[in-house]
A and B are shown apart, each in its own frame.
Chain A
């Protein structure tokens, strides 16, 4: 772990450095408040020893600036000072320091206090990992592990906004497994789940890194395609459909033949600027594909009348 030593007095700084390095930490040195603040732009620098009295910006001001910033991980601060009156200690801690030590420093005490700081930083890191894991769990479908409906809607919203800024179309493909209920009823839900997992796996292999795939409903899969217009989306829809239906899906019981229907829409169509409307238009195309006998792709833009009808629903 790296520790910042911000101390204008060379001797004090050198003694701190030697001791702290002997304890197995890396050190970064600064001799002014400005130098300390600059060094603390490094996100890996999570532990700081700041001298109160420094030329220019003092340790108190550095503390305040650190506590005002939002996006950084926690920085544990030990404030050093020759000031040992109660009101000084209170002022130091009130500025945002976690700990306060008076000079000259007792190094056994400093070592123990650094261990406390390290413990808190480690604890925060563990919490952040768990927080990210929980966030990921909350964002994904529990069976297929692809994005869930609310997360994919957020992506689509962001993508539409970006597309508008960059004047690029956004495509949506909504896929539905044909007769999925019959698969569940005939083979059981376990086999149905296995089939759905394989459908997702085949679809994932056919999309770009920048595309996003999510589970929109029971057997409905949605794919968001950045920078994809009406001229490309039919070809992509067909590629996805063929990827699923070209051969049977292996399950623990049997090989199950599965096909999908796909409804496609892009933000080039009038009235599709919002997430809801674009999905509604794609859903209309999907219904039409099912009406045409399934295992086919319908692109909303190829039938403007249908798009208008869906928007006006």
Chain B
């Protein structure tokens, strides 16, 4: 089974896991998700610049940073894509970095759509 097929099986966010980490506070989760989206917008801009300049160190750092932020919010799919970006940066693979950057954007849109239908407080 391919990686993308594996990814499709996962939910964009593991609510149980993240709420367990932050003491079940759904309004705090909303605050954190807002920070995530704001940070992502800035990192996306930096990532585009880094890919254009073929600055693989920066690509790797951004991938690492997004991987950590995603892991903290149990954004399992985003975490995997960010890891792919970090690896592409470390291995200086331009094409893989470009693919990972596109996948990140897709996954962020998927997450936003998912959260519109499933806001954090819905299941609590």
Nearest CB of B to A107, in Å: 6
Give the residues from 241 to 262 in chain A that come closer than 8 angstroms, CB to CB, to chain B.
none
Partner-contacting stretch, out of B2-10, B63-71, B97-105: B63-71
Nearest CB of B to A81, in Å: 10
Partner-contacting stretch, out of A5-13, A206-214, A275-283, A303-311: A5-13
Known: A9-B72, A11-B69, A107-B21. A53 touches B35 (CB 8 A): no
Query: Bound state CA distance, A105 and B22, in angstroms?
Result: 11
Determine whether the beta carbon of B35 is less than 8 Å from that of A10. Answer: yes
Query: Bound state CA distance, A145 and B32, in angstroms?
Result: 60
- A18 contacts across to B, CB distance below 8 A: 22, 25, 28
Determine whether the beta carbon of A104 is less than 8 Å from that of B71. Answer: yes
Nearest A residue to B64 via CB reads A53
Known: A9-B69, A11-B32. A104 touches B21 (CB 8 A): yes
Determine whether the beta carbon of B28 is less than 8 Å from that of A9. Answer: no
- The main secondary structure of chain B at its interface with chain A is helix
- B67 contacts across to A, CB distance below 8 A: 82
Nearest B residue to A80 via CB reads B68
- B81 contacts across to A, CB distance below 8 A: none
Determine whether the beta carbon of B32 is less than 8 Å from that of A15. Answer: yes
- B22 contacts across to A, CB distance below 8 A: 15, 18-19
Judged by a CB distance under 8 angstroms, whether B73 is at the interface is yes
Query: Bound state CA distance, A305 and B112, in angstroms?
Result: 98
Query: Bound state CA distance, A166 and B95, in angstroms?
Result: 72
Give the residues from 1 to 28 in chain A that come closer than 8 angstroms, CB to CB, to chain B.
8-12, 14-15, 18-19, 22
With an 8 Å Cβ cutoff, the count of chain A residues facing the other chain is 17
- B69 contacts across to A, CB distance below 8 A: 9-12
- A15 contacts across to B, CB distance below 8 A: 21-22, 32, 72
Nearest CB of A to B123, in Å: 20
- B21 contacts across to A, CB distance below 8 A: 15, 104-107
Nearest CB of B to A59, in Å: 13
Judged by a CB distance under 8 angstroms, whether B117 is at the interface is no
Query: Bound state CA distance, A9 and B39, in angstroms?
Result: 9
Nearest CB of B to A211, in Å: 60
- A12 contacts across to B, CB distance below 8 A: 68-69, 72
* Choice from A11, A103, A105, A106 contacting B36 with Cβ under 8 Å: A11
Given contacts A103-B72, A105-B21, 10 further A-B contacts (CB under 8 A): A10-B69, A11-B36, A11-B69, A12-B69, A14-B31, A15-B72, A82-B68, A103-B71, A104-B71, A104-B74
